[in-house]
């Protein structure tokens, strides 16, 4: 591993890859809206996820988390790759691989993977692909991501049909809170009081909050905050808008407030995130 920090980030509409190698590596907790695989290529990480206490992961190993789960990990030194997969993308991979039908509920009961040689090879191939910029890079990365997703689904996933889930233009959502989620996607740039979100779901604020936390794993406020940060990452990667403008577009009144929230979630400032992006 190099003596200085190396950050490489690849942002796709359906997934994000974040490679990090440094004398001291830290992944901060955040209630992500995605399925997440933290793949340890070299070194050792101390990690916490959900309500479990601190545990140690040795390379090559991986940690799997579901949407709404918190994950915090740190190590010195360590080389790791964080892969975030949109739930709709994971469902699509499962359907195309004929592992299930659309509308399935997917969980990963085994949160930690001690050793999986195939997954370790895929992680190294992805890290190597991020290290250089060559023709066809995006095609290769997409193929590797799909292989990895299907491998995780085959070996570690629990899949079952759920009448409460349905595909929509904003992805896979629970039908009882779908209108509120769509409102969040459509109105990221303005304040959305709990009462307005609850009204969109035809529920009282109290019952809406309880149901939303139950079906998404996050409070409405935490879900909206993470949705704003994910949209900000997409804008940083796909536009040349200023950081101030991007912050405003996703609902932050000041660039300093936006930068602080972004750094708390990613351990990078918006500027450092943009500088680490792999060109597409």
Higher model confidence: residue 27 or residue 275?
Answer: 275
Tell me the CATH number at 215: 1.10.10.60
- In this structure, the answer to whether residues 103 and 175 fall within a common structural domain is no
* Residues 77 and 20 sit within 8 Å (Cβ to Cβ): no
Judge whether residue 22 has pLDDT over 80.
yes
Q: At what angle do helices 117-131 and 137-156 cross, to 10 degrees?
A: 160
* Residues 179 and 201 sit within 8 Å (Cβ to Cβ): yes
- In this structure, the answer to whether residues 89 and 10 fall within a common structural domain is yes
Domain count for the chain, please give it.
2
pLDDT tens track for 109-143: 778 898 899 999 999 999 999 998 888 999 999 99
**pLDDT reported for residue 61:** 93
- In this structure, the answer to whether residues 180 and 80 fall within a common structural domain is no
pLDDT band (50, 70, 90) for residue 169: low
- Closest listed residue to residue 224, CA positions, set 263, 261, 278, 174: 261
Judge whether residue 168 has pLDDT over 80.
no
Buried b / exposed e over 185-223, threshold 16 CB at 10 Å, is eeebeeebebeebbbbbebeeeebbebbeebbbbbbebb
Instruction: Please give the Cα distance from 93 to 90 (Å, whole number).
Output: 5
With left for phi above 0 and alpha for psi between -120 and 50, is residue 112 left, alpha or beta? beta
- In this structure, the answer to whether residues 56 and 191 fall within a common structural domain is no
- Percent of the chain past pLDDT 70, that is, above it, reads 90
Q: Name the most confidently modeled range: 83-92, 102-111, 239-248, 262-271.
A: 239-248
Instruction: Please give the Cα distance from 241 to 280 (Å, whole number).
Output: 17
pLDDT band (50, 70, 90) for residue 53: confident
Is 278 part of any domain? no
- In this structure, the answer to whether residues 67 and 135 fall within a common structural domain is yes
Task: Specify the pTM.
Answer: 0.88
């Amino acid at each position: 591993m190099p003596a200085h920090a190396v950050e490489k980030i690849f942002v796709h509409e359906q997934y994000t890859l974040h490679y990090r190698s440094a004398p001291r590596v830290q992944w901060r907790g955040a209630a992500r809206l995605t399925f997440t695989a933290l793949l340890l290529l070299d070194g050792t990480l101390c990690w916490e996820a959900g309500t479990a206490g601190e545990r140690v992961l040795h390379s090559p190993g991986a940690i799997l988390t579901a949407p709404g789960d918190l994950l915090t990990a740190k190590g010195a030194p360590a080389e790791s790759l964080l892969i975030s997969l949109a739930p709709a993308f994971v469902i699509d991979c499962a359907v195309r691989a004929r592992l299930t039908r659309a509308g399935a509920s997917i969980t990963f009961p085994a949160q930690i993977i001690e050793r999986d040689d195939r997954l370790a090879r895929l992680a190294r191939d992805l890290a190597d692909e991020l290290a250089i910029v060559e023709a066809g890079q995006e095609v290769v990365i997409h193929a590797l991501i799909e292989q990895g997703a299907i491998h995780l689904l085959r070996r570690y996933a629990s899949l079952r049909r759920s009448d409460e889930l349905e595909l929509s233009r904003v992805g896979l959502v629970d039908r009882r809170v779908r209108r509120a989620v769509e409102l969040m996607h459509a109105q990221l740039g303005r304040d959305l009081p709990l009462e307005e979100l609850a009204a969109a779901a035809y529920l009282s604020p109290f019952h809406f909050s309880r149901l939303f936390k139950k079906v998404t794993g996050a409070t409405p406020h935490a879900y909206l905050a993470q949705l704003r940060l994910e949209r900000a990452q997409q804008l940083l990667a796909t536009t040349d808008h200023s950081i101030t403008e991007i912050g405003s577009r996703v609902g932050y009144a000041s660039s300093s407030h936006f930068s602080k929230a972004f750094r708390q979630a990613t351990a990078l400032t918006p500027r450092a995130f943009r500088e680490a992006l792999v060109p597409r």
